[in-house]
Amino acid sequence: MSNRQEKHDLENIIDSLGLSTTLELIADICYEKSAHIQTNWQDKATSKPWEKAAKRIETISSRTDV
């Protein structure tokens, strides 16, 4: 799949769910990736950036009314 198609698909998701909900879902995925890494590989160095990204995305999501 090309980046152009992926961008179009993401735009459709945002149009369907709204930006705030899309960001909330992305934050959830980041938290889940962090937990998965911690559980399966006990690798805090790799899981921490996912958790940090989730927190930042959550903050942005809570400030987004779109």
Q: Is the pLDDT of residue 51 over 80?
A: yes
pTM of the predicted model as reported, rounded to 2 decimal places: 0.91
- Domain region containing 58: 3-62
- The amino acid sitting at 46 is T
Confidence bin at 66 (pLDDT 50/70/90): confident
- Tokens for 56, please give them: 């930042």
CA–CA gap between residue 28 and residue 18 (Å, rounded): 16
Helical ranges in 1-66 per DSSP H: 3-17, 19-41, 44-62
Check whether 1 has a pLDDT greater than 90: no
Number of domains within the chain: 1
